[in-house]
């Protein structure tokens, strides 16, 4: 019994430490889940030699809250209801054991596509198995695997299988069991409201016939994504209006995407091309002739930060330091409009 408060205290200290290290703009989130729960690996007390009419599956559900420390690490806590384990001791006696608990776990994730992540959770559950009159509580190990799909900036859905071990105790409630819960969840991310889009700033070029407009990729896209944010759409809309007003109708546009040095060179080259193509498609849809627009991906080959971020070790701080390298440059060539 003493193991439960000790385990929760240690997990709580780890959680507080992780939360204090996170940057202020990385979001809290909360959600719920519903699915199918099944008990397995059941062991009975010697007083129950031949349990009958066993019901070991049903509906499970849970509520959770989490904090995303950085791109790959988060911390989650919550409450799970794992349904009931029911069986007959004898023709006149039936056990009705409700399984539930409070859990705390570390969440490790990695992106596999623009809006899709895979993740694993490892932690502990302060579990309770039994009835109102007799129950067993203990610290139960917990592990889960899942996939999470972002519906938009704030909403996401997840499919998860969770295993919880060593629920109950044969001497206290007559049974000990493991549990598997396959669930579908929905979560809401509270933080990260879009920052106001900066006004496009013209960068002077050596020749008056060529002008460059540089936009921050962080204003256009979420980190490691190639889908335009609402603030990015507004910035590109204003840029398209400025180009049509200032350039002649035969002006040509070259859109070049740049990334920071985080990740492999090939991945960054592909991401920069996809971001440039997304910006090009948006401008064409707003009236720029498609035949006058070309795209290029420069990847991480042209950083502007130099060596100023070489000593930064923490990932969140490194991402912030390298922000100037993540940019989209629009080059306009042609005569000025009269």
Q: What is the pLDDT of residue 302?
A: 86
Domains of the chain in start order, with CATH, are: 3-189 (2.40.160.20), 201-333 (3.30.1330.60)
Q: What is the pLDDT of residue 248?
A: 66
- Given its phi and psi angles, is residue 83 left (phi above 0), alpha (psi -120 to 50 degrees) or beta? left
What is the enclosing helix (H) or strand (E) of 85?
A: strand 73-90
Q: What is the pLDDT of residue 333?
A: 83
Q: What is the pLDDT of residue 148?
A: 96
User: What's the rounded Cα separation, in Å, for the pair 152 and 148?
Assistant: 12
Q: Are 146 and 161 in contact (CB under 8 A)?
A: yes
Q: What is the pLDDT of residue 167?
A: 93
Q: What is the pLDDT of residue 5?
A: 44
Q: What is the pLDDT of residue 216?
A: 85
Sign of CA dihedral 309, 311, 317, 319: positive
Residues of the chain with pLDDT under 70: 1-26, 90-91, 191-208, 247-249, 335-338
Nearest Cα neighbor of 25 from 158, 157, 223 is 223
Q: What is the pLDDT of residue 250?
A: 74
Sign of CA dihedral 218, 221, 222, 223: negative
pLDDT per position as a tens digit, 259-305 = 888 889 999 899 889 998 998 899 888 888 888 889 998 888 889 88
């Amino acid at each position: 019994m003493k193991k439960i408060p000790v385990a929760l205290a240690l997990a709580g200290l780890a959680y507080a430490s992780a939360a204090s290290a996170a940057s202020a703009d990385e979001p809290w989130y909360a959600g719920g889940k519903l699915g199918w729960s099944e008990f397995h690996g059941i062991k009975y007390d010697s007083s129950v030699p031949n349990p009958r009419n066993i019901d070991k599956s049903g509906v499970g559900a849970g509520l959770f809250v989490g904090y995303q420390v950085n791109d790959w690490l988060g911390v989650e806590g919550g409450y799970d209801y794992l349904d009931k384990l029911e069986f007959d001791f004898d023709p006149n006696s039936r056990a009705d054991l409700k399984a539930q608990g409070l859990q705390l776990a570390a969440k490790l994730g990695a992106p596999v596509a623009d809006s899709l992540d895979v993740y694993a959770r490892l932690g502990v559950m302060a579990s309770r198995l039994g009835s109102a009159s007799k129950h067993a509580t203990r610290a139960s190990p917990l592990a889960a695997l899942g996939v999470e799909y972002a519906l938009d900036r704030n909403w996401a859905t997840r499919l998860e299988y969770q295993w919880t071990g060593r629920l109950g105790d044969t001497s206290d409630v007559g049974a000990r069991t493991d549990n598997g819960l396959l669930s579908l969840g929905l979560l809401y991310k509270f933080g990260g409201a879009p920052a106001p889009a900066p006004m496009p700033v013209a960068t002077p070029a050596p020749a008056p016939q060529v002008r460059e407009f540089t936009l921050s990729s962080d204003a256009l896209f979420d980190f490691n994504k190639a889908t335009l944010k609402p603030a990015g759409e507004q910035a590109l809309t204003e840029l398209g209006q400025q180009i049509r007003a200032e350039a002649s109708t035969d002006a040509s546009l070259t859109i070049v995407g740049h990334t920071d040095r985080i990740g492999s060179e090939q991945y960054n080259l592909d991401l920069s091309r996809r971001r440039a193509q997304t910006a090009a498609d948006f401008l064409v849809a707003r009236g720029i002739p498609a035949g006058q627009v070309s795209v290029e991906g420069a990847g991480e080959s042209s950083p502007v930060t130099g060596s100023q971020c070489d000593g930064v070790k923490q990932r969140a701080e490194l991402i912030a330091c390298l922000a100037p390298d993540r940019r989209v440059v629009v080059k306009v060539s042609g005569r000025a409009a009269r």
